[in-house]
Amino acid sequence: MEFYVFDGTLEGLLTAIFYAYQNKVKVVKLVSEEHYMPDVFDRRFTVISEDEKAKRVWKGLRAKLNKDWMLRMYKSFLSEQPGAYQDIFEFARYIIDNPAGAEENYGNTYVLAVSQMAQKVHREKHRMEAFIRFQKTTDGTFYAHIEPDFNVLPLLIDHFKKRYADQKWIIYDLKRKYGLFYDLEKVQEVTFDFATEMSSNLNALPAQLLDPKEELYTVLWKDYFKSTNIPTRKNMKLHIRHVPKRYWKYLSEKQDFE
Amino acid sequence: MFDRIREKLGILADAAKYDVSCSSSGSNRKNENKGLGDAEGTGICHTYTEDGRCVSLLKILLTNHCIFDCAFCVSRRSNDIKRAAFTVEEVVELTMNFYRRNYIEGLFLSSGIFKNADYTMERLVRIVKKLRDEERFNGYIHLKTIPGASEELLKEAGMYADRMSINLEMPTETGLKLLAPEKSHEEVKKPLNFIQKSIATFSDEKAIIKSVPKFVPAGQSTQIVIGATPDTDKEIMHTANAFYKNFSLKRVYYSGYIPISYDNRLPVIGTQPPLIRENRLYQADWLMRFYGFNVQEIVNDAYPNLEVDVDPKLSWALRNLEQFPVDINTADYRMILRVPGIGVTSALKIVQARKFGKLRQDNLKKIGISFNKAKHFIRYADSPMQMQDFEAGHLKGIILSESHSKYQKKPISQLSLF
């Protein structure tokens, strides 16, 4: 079995596609350095990311796929799932090898796999848009941290920038150790050295860092959540399907701290 | 101060929750002034209540003082409950601060009617105006139309709101007269009609002059309470259908009546709200709006009520077995959409995918149709030889025994009241 080992970046993945054509290989297993397990019987080809080659492949795909599909490939890539890398690789080759329009063939394993993974990532992005809860800090910045299943921060920029144009905000991914910071002009990537490991719980910021009115609004929101419920209609199964338990840590209304 | 605002929010959110709409989609209000919020595109449910309903908007009444005495309403004049009223500033502050923390998509503002219709409507307008003009708020605003308010005020409200709604309350005029003698469907139709006409005028002008402002960009909706009066599903669906058609409504909401009164015209307190029936009505509503069904096909004189144990699409299919099986590889989209177990997304995928070759069982399963249900109604490339024609009752039995419906296993606790 021949292995293509790449650096885990999108550029690397696209470069690998380029080499698959240059080397005229048919069957190849694409793995990122992180997931690669060396085996004496395997042949290894190390893919060095190259901007030029990656761009050529991207352009080639762009000529056949609309924006939606390009975004789907990107979302699928952000899943960081080893299987997804292979699916994108095969999908891209299927598109390149076939006449335009092949992406509509949901009977093809890779077309379906890429579109389904993209959908999963999209759902996680949407959940973050819903479940992020900002806390206002003493300097007026609104802070939230998350631990999403997939690397969705890049997909959140546009949404939060448009929406919170008049307030500074930070969304930090504790798992991947980087965040987004909006300074009223632009969004930039930031990393912090938290002195101690930050708890993933919602109320992890020390009280002295919070705006004096923060507590009031947290309490009012919890009150509202309670008042708007209709007890005779209670249906916890449905509730949990919509708000899976692993997201409760983000939600002030699901915390008991009174 | 702290406690007073908490108490007000408690009372006025509690009183507002029976309005079930929480939609925050369908508007096109962008954040173009570098203010707060953006109401373009799809809505977001920021959380869900324990009863599984979406929480997208801060849904409150301005006040629960009311001069009317509608038997089905918790804020009715004769009800002995705590009353409260927000100030304009309080509503604005709550909305802005909840929005800034990403709790909500916007505001759903309704009110009991105090003094008179115009007085109330004028207060509501003052709030939305302040939000838009002073606070530069671009989030979603759903504003209640107060029946009887002047056209000038409605027009002003429409300049600030994304959606406006006014509730029919009861599916039929007789039902409404019984429970709310002071109200009528006519006084709901009048403002619906006025706002619909205004929306049309504004959009015509906008086609010519780009600077024409927005007017209720997310359209109008209404709500029908079900199970408070003895109306059939046929009456409910036909009313809904007529309102969709005549007033271009975006949504009709069906709200299972939750007993809140000892009034003997109404189901007694403690009666289970008709949740299954409500669910079936929404399914039927979807069939009309997205699946190309005519209301007559779903409920008619022969079948005035939706079945409880199967969904209305399956119910229709079982009554029309002569139209099946449908060949997945050749039938047109319209007919594929009618197969029980196939939704809009899957139907679209099927029509795209079959251009590349005949679809087989494993393709269909992967595409994500509910195969166990659909298999009785379809033919595909490798479908087994058809053994026999099923009779509808027999087929229903098979499907029910193979499926895990969220309802059928529980005892039917929903008693017929009439």
- Interchain pair A232, B258: CB under 8 A: yes
The mean pLDDT value for B30-50 works out to 91
Give me the DSSP letters along B276-332: HHHHHHHHHHHHHHHS---HHHHS-SS--S--SSS-HHHHHHHHTGGG--EETTTS-
B329-355 core/surface letters (b: 16 or more CB in 10 A; e: else): bebeeebbbbbbbbbeebbbbbbbbbe
Q: Across the interface, which of A220, A225, A243 has its CB nearest the CB of B6? A: A220
Task: Tell me the C-alpha distance between A8 and A34, whole Å.
Answer: 8
Residues 6+ apart with CB under 8 A from B26: B43, B162, B163, B217, B218, B219, B250
Q: A227 and B14: CB-CB below 8 Å?
A: yes
Q: Is the sign of the CA dihedral B320, B323, B326, B331 positive or negative?
A: negative
In a domain, B247, yes or no: yes
* B14, B37, B354: residue with CB nearest A163: B37
In B, residues 151-210, which contact A (CB 8 Å cutoff)? none
User: Chain B partners of A235 at a C-beta cutoff of 8 Å?
Assistant: 50-52, 275
Q: Which of B29, B40, B92, B101 to mutate to test binding with chain A, by most A CBs within 10 Å of its CB?
A: B101
Residues B24 and B140 sit within 8 Å (Cβ to Cβ): yes
CA-nearest of A249, A258, A255, A256 to A131 is A249
Residue type, B139: G
User: Between chains, do B275 and A219 touch, taking CB under 8 Å as contact?
Assistant: no
Token code pair at residue B404: 């895990």
Three-state DSSP class for residue A23: coil
B334 and B197 share one domain: no
Nearest chain B CA: its distance from A228 CA (Å): 5
Which chain A residues contact residue B30 at CB under 8 A?
162
- Report CB contact under 8 Å: B97, A217: yes
CB within 8 Å: A163 and B101: no
Q: What is the helix (H) or strand (E) element at residue B397, kind and residue range?
A: helix B392-402
CB of A191 within 8 Å of a chain B CB? The answer is: no
Q: How many domains does chain B have?
A: 2
Q: In this complex, is the C-beta atom of B77 within 8 Å of any C-beta atom belonging to chain A? A: no
Mean of pLDDT over chain B: 92
* CB-based contact B56:B43 (threshold 8 Å): yes
Residues B324, B285 share a domain? no
Is A224 in contact with B13 (Cβ distance < 8 A)?
A: yes
B236: Cβ–Cβ under 8 A, 6 or more apart, which residues? B171, B224, B226, B254, B281
Which of B232, B267, B298 is where one domain is finished?
Answer: B298
Which CATH number covers residue B78?
3.20.20.70
Q: Measured between alpha carbons, how far is B87 from B95 in angstroms, rounded to an integer?
A: 13
Which residues from chain B sit within 8 angstroms of residue A132, using beta carbons? 102
Q: What single string gives the DSSP state of each residue in B322-357? A: GG--EETTTS-HHHHTTSTT--HHHHHHHHHHGGGS
**Shared-domain flag, residues B230 and B339:** no
Within 8 A of B6 by CB-CB distance, chain A residues are 219-220, 223
B303 part of a folded domain: no
Structural domain includes residue B411:
no
Residue range B185-227, pLDDT digits in tens: 999 999 999 999 999 999 999 888 888 899 999 999 999 999 9
Nearest to B59 by CA among B87, B90, B18: B18
Interchain contact B260–A (C-beta under 8 A): no
Measured CA to CA, the distance from residue B315 to residue B400 in angstroms comes to 12
Residue B304, domain member (yes or no): no
Name the residue in chain A with its Cα closest to that of B6. Answer: A220
Nearest to B52 by CA among A162, A237, A17, A174: A237
Burial A96-106 (b: 16+ CB within 10 A, else e): beeeeebbbbb
Position B417 pLDDT exceeds 70: no
| A residues 120-159 lying closer than 8 A (beta carbon) to B | 126, 129-136, 142, 144
Q: Which chain B residue's Cα is nearest to A106?
A: B353
Q: Give the pLDDT confidence score for residue A250 in this predicted structure.
A: 84
Q: Is the domain of B240 the same as that of B279? A: yes
Half-sphere exposure of A109 (CA within 13 A, CB side): 7
pLDDT at B413 over 60: no
Nearest partner of A227 among B55, B17, B104, judged by Cα: B17
Q: What is the distance, to the nearest Å, from the Cα of residue B208 to the centroid of all Cα atoms in its chain?
A: 33
Distances (CA, A) of A178 to A114, A170, A247: 26, 10, 19
User: By the 8 A CB rule, do B381 and B358 touch?
Assistant: yes
Q: Do the Cβ atoms of B363 and A106 come within 8 Å? A: yes
Give the bridge partners for A189, in sequence order. A180
| Distant-in-sequence, close-in-space partners of A81: CB < 8 Å, separation ≥ 6 | A117
Instruction: Give the Cα separation of B309 and B204 in Å (integer).
Output: 46
Residues of B in contact with A134 (CB under 8 A): 100-102
Weakly modelled stretches of chain A, pLDDT under 50: 257-258
- The candidate with the shortest Cα–Cα distance to B280, out of B245, B248, B321, B314, is B314
Q: Which residues constitute the domain of residue B286?
A: 2-298
A34 - beta bridge partners? none
Query: Beta-carbon neighbour count of residue B31 at 10 Å?
Result: 21
Q: In this structure, are B136 and B232 located in the same domain?
A: yes
Measured CA to CA, the distance from residue B10 to residue B6 in angstroms comes to 6
Express each pLDDT in B292-314 by its tens digit. Answer: 999 999 999 999 999 999 999 99
Is A99 in CB contact (< 8 Å) with chain B?
no
Whether B268 and chain A come into contact, CB under 8 Å, resolves to no
Q: Which of A112, A162, A243 shows the shortest C-beta gap to B31?
A: A162
Say yes or no: B372 and B246 in one domain.
no
* pLDDT tens digits for range B309-350: 999 999 999 999 999 999 999 999 999 999 999 999 999 999
Domain contains B337:
yes
Query: How far does Cα A30 stand from its chain's mean position?
Result: 21
In chain B, positions 95-114, which contact chain A (CB-CB < 8 Å)? 97-98, 100-103
Helices A82-97/A109-131 angle, 10° precision = 130
Residue B92 and residue B36 in one domain? yes
Residues in A touching B18 (Cβ below 8 Å): 230
Chain B residues with beta carbon closer than 8 angstroms to that of A144: 102
- Give the closest-approach CA distance of A4 to chain B in angstroms: 28
HSE-CB at A85 with a 13 A cutoff on CA atoms is 27
Residues B152, B294, single domain; the answer is: yes
Q: pLDDT (tens digit, 9 = 90+) per residue, B254-297? A: 999 988 888 888 988 888 889 999 999 999 999 999 999 999 99
Residue B306 falls inside a structural domain = no
Task: Burial-class residue B308 by CB neighbours within 10 Å (0-12, 13-18, 19+).
Answer: middle
Dihedral sign for Cα atoms in the order A103, A104, A109, A113? positive
If we measure between CA atoms, which residue out of A180, A20, A137 comes closest to residue A86? Answer: A20
B14 to chain A, any CB pair closer than 8 A? The answer is yes
- Asked if A105's CB is within 8 angstroms of B50's CB, the reply is no
Question: Tens of pLDDT along B366-411?
Answer: 999 999 999 999 999 998 876 556 788 888 888 888 777 665 544 4
Q: A106, B16: Cβ pair inside 8 Å?
A: no
How does pLDDT run across A56-90, given as a tens digit for each residue?
Answer: 999 999 999 999 999 999 999 999 999 999 999 99
Whether the predicted pLDDT of B9 surpasses 90: yes
Cβ separation of A142 and B101 shorter than 8 Å? yes
Domain ranges of chain A: 2-123, 132-254
Q: Which two tokens stand for residue B221?
A: 């909706």
Tokens of B297: 């096909």
Element (H, E) at B108: strand B106-110
Answer yes or no: do B50 and A235 touch at CB < 8 A.
yes
Nearest CA in chain A to B5: A220
Chain A residues with CB under 8 Å of B257 CB are none
Q: Which residues are CB-contacts of B383 (< 8 A; sequence separation ≥ 6)?
A: B361, B375
- pLDDT of B222-254, one tens digit each? 999 999 999 999 999 999 999 999 999 999 999
Of residues B45, B49, B59, nearest to A130 (C-beta): B45
